């Protein structure tokens, strides 16, 4: 078996390991972050349990760090109290980004990790099967329930050679996106193997695994080898290491070859992670903002390469040069090795450890300017600036732009600074609070912005209403439910956050929804790509969206729709998409009866047409939809 198959086999509790068939796996660890975690813990509370049933669960505060008013601070107190109450570790604001801190402090080879952050797959750099999911799925895992998914194909990426100076792991994953697009990994776990893997340290592997989410992959897995052991030893956790590699005769569903020595600096141009070109092809474009760090490329290695490159240099006077460390541990170790001084003398603005600009929480670029970021996403407007021009690149390419004031091939910087990982990191976990053995008497602190989880009614026999919105291919969760400092503080208040649904696509959507009562959304391919935020499903459901009819769905968003009782319908004939107009009346016929009988074809009358749609669902998912969502289904199952 390959590595992914070994982990799946050890954790599978239901289903047959046939690609496309639903399986259920046992989850060892969970993580949440504050933009999704507040709702996840409200959902966990609604299940009526006394304590989490995982081996380890961690609550991180890394997204909503700006405290412009009481909302974020109140929610942070809620998260800390609920973690103590239910047996969850709590990583305080400013301690670092969930996937980076988890890699440092908690990740274990061979374990499964489910996280309410779409970049949870970063843990695959340590040999974990780490999967991003909606908060409700994570809440169910914390309740001791298995996680359901369709058995993925295992896509083997055979690496040979070794990266050249000024070329790094970011360029490898950008090459994957250049070749295969944001849809290339749908329904797959990506597993890297071959002789080139041994040349990649764990931070490099974490970078590649992190942005497997941009391929649409379920997860990304690297072997656990001698590099993994050295990393865990440097973190003081060598005893948690185990070797985990593919068998010599392991099979993969498909194999792609990448010669690391043939790679060169790449850059994702606005406004999609797969709009990738060679840096040498876009050189000379003036740059006014450079940000290194945040959700990816925020490790010790990334910041030390940046710092040593800046030694004796100054950022261009037209560039706002900014650093977002991935964790306080990263900051402490970079400081101990002299890197902070080089960054300060080089003109860098050093921010607290957190997501910040990656989620639109500050760091918005100026109007009409170019921003180079080492982030994983550059969806339109995600930065907080309308009409933004955000490019994604490696720290090497980013620091070159900071020095020269324009997009520049980093190989023009001269000798490449050699950075080795310390044999032992400075470790300070004082900002991670372990839960007490018994938290049953700990009061949960709720601010006025925390509203109860809404009650959802069961699926009606027939659904009638109006087409409220029609959108194109590759609609992201940012299009559906924007992030940023204006919206995210309402993540624990569904009525309030619902006011922003589809605002970036159609500012009149919410008003129309409130007037009409019941509606559907029509979309194209890969609908709902991007983050794991379940608000992109729950908030439309709160407004009265009962179905979405699209050409195809992104994995996490489809699961979230099912979890909140929204029918995820797909066109049988994609040409029917062109026959539907905004404002058409619709009637979904006998959906409940068809699902109850195990059917998968549902007729829909729209305007003057009658079309056929399909649901690609397991029997469990059909029952979940009939119940009106996963919380209803779970309560019914527990009661039974």
The token pair at 557 is: 């968003």
Average pLDDT over every residue of 517-540: 91
pLDDT per residue as tens digits for the range 197-218: 999 999 999 999 999 999 999 9
384 three-state secondary structure: coil
Which residue in 242, 425, 250, 203 sits closest to 331, CA to CA? 425
The Cβ-side half-sphere exposure at 494, using a 13 Å CA radius, reads 23
pLDDT tens, 157-190?
999 999 999 999 999 999 999 999 999 999 999 9
**Contact yes or no for 174/139 (Cβ under 8 A):** no
Helix (H), strand (E), coil (C) string for 302-364: HHHHHHHHHCCCCCCCCCEEEEECCEHHHHHHHHHCCHHHHHHHCCCEECCCCCHHHHCCCCC
* pLDDT tens string 9-30: 999 999 999 999 999 999 999 9
111-141 pLDDT per residue, tens: 999 999 999 999 999 999 999 998 899 999 9
Q: What is the pLDDT of residues 378-437, one digit of tens each?
A: 988 888 898 999 999 999 999 999 999 999 999 999 999 989 999 999 999 999 999 999
> What's the confidence (pLDDT) of residue 640?
52
Cα angle for residues 101, 102, 107 (degrees, 5° grid): 140
Of 223, 242, 222, which Cα lies nearest the Cα of 232?
A: 242
Place 639 in a pLDDT band, splitting at 50, 70 and 90.
low
d(CA 221, CA 156): 10
What is the length of the chain? 640
pLDDT of residue 7: 98
Asked if pLDDT for residue 455 goes beyond 60, the answer is yes
pLDDT reported for residue 491: 83
Angle of the 98-105 helix axis to the 328-336 helix axis, nearest 10: 70
Question: Which segment of 226-230, 384-388, 520-524 scores lowest on mean pLDDT?
Answer: 384-388
Q: How far apart are CA 413 and CA 411, in angstroms?
A: 5
Q: DSSP state, 208?
A: H
CA–CA separation, 8 vs 453, rounded Å?
Answer: 33
Please provide the average confidence, as pLDDT, over all residues in the chain.
94
Q: Tell me, what's the pLDDT at 67?
A: 83
Residues annotated catalytic, as ranges: 62-63, 117, 377, 531, 533
Task: Find the helix packing angle between 34-46 and 630-639, rounded to 10°.
Answer: 30
Residues 6+ positions from 280 with CB-CB distance below 8 Å: 264, 265, 409
Which pLDDT band, with edges at 50, 70 and 90, does 35 fall under?
confident
Domains and CATH numbers, the chain: 3-262 (3.30.499.10), 266-413 (3.30.499.10), 463-639 (3.20.19.10)
Q: State yes or no: cis peptide before 271, omega within 30 of 0.
A: yes
Using an 8 Å Cβ cutoff, are 30 and 55 in contact?
no
Task: Collapse the DSSP code of 220 into the 3-class scheme (helix H, G, I; strand E, B; otherwise coil) and give the result.
Answer: strand
Give the integer Cα–Cα distance in Å for 226 and 1. 20
CA of 566: how far to CAs of 410, 545, 561, 585, in Å? 48, 7, 5, 18
**Coil, strand, or helix at residue 370?**
strand
According to the model, what pLDDT value does residue 638 have?
62
HEC string of 51-89 equals CCCCCEEEEECCCCCCCCCHHHHHHHHHHHHHHHHHCCE
Looking at residue 546, what DSSP letter applies? E
Q: What is the pLDDT of residues 244-277, one digit of tens each?
A: 999 999 999 999 999 999 999 999 999 999 999 9
d(CA 26, CA 11): 5
In a 13 Å sphere around the CA of 470, the CA atoms on its Cβ side amount to 12
Q: Evaluate if residue 596 carries a pLDDT over 70.
A: yes
Among the residue ranges 238-247, 488-497, 560-569, 588-597, the one predicted with the least confidence is 488-497
Render pLDDT for 305-331 as a digit per residue (tens, 0 to 9).
999 999 999 999 999 999 999 999 999
How many Å from the N-terminal Cα to the C-terminal Cα in the chain? 38
**Alpha-carbon distance 163 to 146, whole Å?**
39
Task: Name the nearest CA neighbour of 363 among 332, 390, 343.
Answer: 390
pLDDT surpassing 70 at residue 490: yes
Note whether 132 and 220 are within 8 A (CB).
Answer: no
Question: Residue 362: pLDDT band by 50, 70, 90 thresholds?
Answer: confident
Partners of residue 29 on adjacent β-strands: 56, 113
| Rounded CA separation 162/160 (Å) | 7
């Amino acid at each position: 078996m390959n590595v992914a198959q070994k982990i799946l086999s050890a954790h599978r509790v239901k289903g047959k390991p046939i690609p496309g068939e639903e399986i259920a796996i046992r989850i060892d660890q969970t993580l949440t972050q504050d933009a999704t975690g507040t709702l996840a813990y409200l959902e966990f509370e609604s299940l009526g349990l006394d304590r989490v049933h995982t081996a380890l669960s961690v609550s991180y505060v890394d997204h909503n760090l700006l405290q412009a008013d009481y909302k974020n601070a109140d929610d942070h107190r809620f998260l800390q109290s609920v973690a103590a109450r239910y047996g969850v570790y709590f990583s305080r604001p400013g301690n670092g980004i969930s996937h980076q801190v988890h890699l440092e402090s908690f990740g274990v080879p061979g374990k499964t990790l489910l996280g309410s952050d779409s970049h949870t797959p970063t843990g695959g750099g340590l040999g974990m099967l780490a999967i991003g999911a909606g908060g409700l799925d994570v809440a169910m895992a914390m309740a001791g329930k298995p996680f359901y998914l369709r058995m993925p194909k295992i896509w083997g990426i055979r690496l040979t050679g070794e990266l050249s100076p000024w070329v790094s792991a970011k360029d490898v994953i950008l090459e994957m996106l250049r070749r295969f697009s944001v849809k290339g990994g749908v329904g797959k776990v990506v597993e890297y193997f071959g002789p080139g893997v041994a040349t990649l340290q764990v931070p490099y592997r974490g970078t590649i695994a992190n942005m497997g989410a941009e391929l649409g992959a379920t997860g990304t897995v690297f072997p656990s080898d001698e590099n993994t052991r050295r990393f865990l030893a440097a973190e003081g956790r060598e005893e948690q290491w185990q070797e985990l590699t593919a068998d010599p005769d392991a099979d993969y569903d498909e194999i792609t070859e990448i010669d690391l020595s043939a790679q060169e600096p790449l850059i994702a141009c606005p406004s999609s992670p797969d709009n990738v070109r060679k840096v040498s092809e876009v050189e000379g474009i003036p740059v006014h903002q450079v940000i290194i760090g945040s959700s990816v490329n925020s490790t010790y290695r990334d910041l030390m390469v940046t710092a040593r490159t800046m030694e004796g240099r100054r950022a261009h006077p037209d560039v706002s040069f900014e650093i977002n460390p991935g964790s306080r541990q990263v900051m402490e170790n970079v400081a101990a090795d002299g890197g902070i001084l080089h960054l300060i003398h080089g003109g860098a603005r050093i921010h607290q450890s957190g997501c910040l600009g990656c989620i639109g929480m500050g760091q918005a670029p100026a109007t009409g300017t170019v921003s180079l970021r080492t982030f994983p996403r550059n969806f339109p407007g995600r930065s907080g600036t309308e009409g933004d021009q955000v490019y994604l690149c490696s720290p090497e390419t980013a620091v070159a732009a900071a020095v020269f004031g324009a997009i520049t091939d980093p190989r023009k910087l001269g000798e490449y600074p050699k950075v080795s990982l310390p044999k032992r990191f400075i470790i300070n976990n004082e900002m991670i609070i372990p839960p007490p053995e018994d938290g049953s008497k700990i009061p949960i602190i709720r601010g006025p912005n925390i509203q109860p989880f809404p009650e959802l009614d069961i699926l009606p026999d027939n659904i009638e209403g109006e087409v409220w919105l029609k959108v194109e291919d590759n609609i992201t969760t940012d299009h559906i439910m924007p992030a940023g400092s204006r919206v995210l503080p309402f993540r624990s208040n569904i009525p309030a956050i619902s006011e922003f649904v589809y605002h970036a696509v159609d500012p009149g959507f919410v008003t129309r929804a409130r007037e009409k009562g019941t509606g559907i959304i029509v979309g194209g391919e890969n609908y709902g790509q991007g983050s794991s935020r379940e608000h992109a499903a729950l908030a439309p459901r709160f407004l009265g969206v009962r179905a979405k009819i699209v050409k195809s769905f992104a994995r996490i968003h489809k699961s979230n729709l099912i979890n909140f009782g929204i029918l995820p319908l797909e066109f049988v004939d994609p040409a029917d998409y062109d026959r539907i107009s905004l404002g058409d009346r619709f009637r979904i016929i006998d959906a409940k009866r068809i699902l109850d009988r195990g059917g998968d074809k549902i007729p829909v009358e729209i305007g003057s047409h009658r079309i056929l749609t399909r649901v690609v669902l397991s029997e469990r998912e059909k029952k979940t939809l009939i119940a009106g969502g996963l919380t209803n289904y779970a309560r019914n199952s527990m009661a039974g």
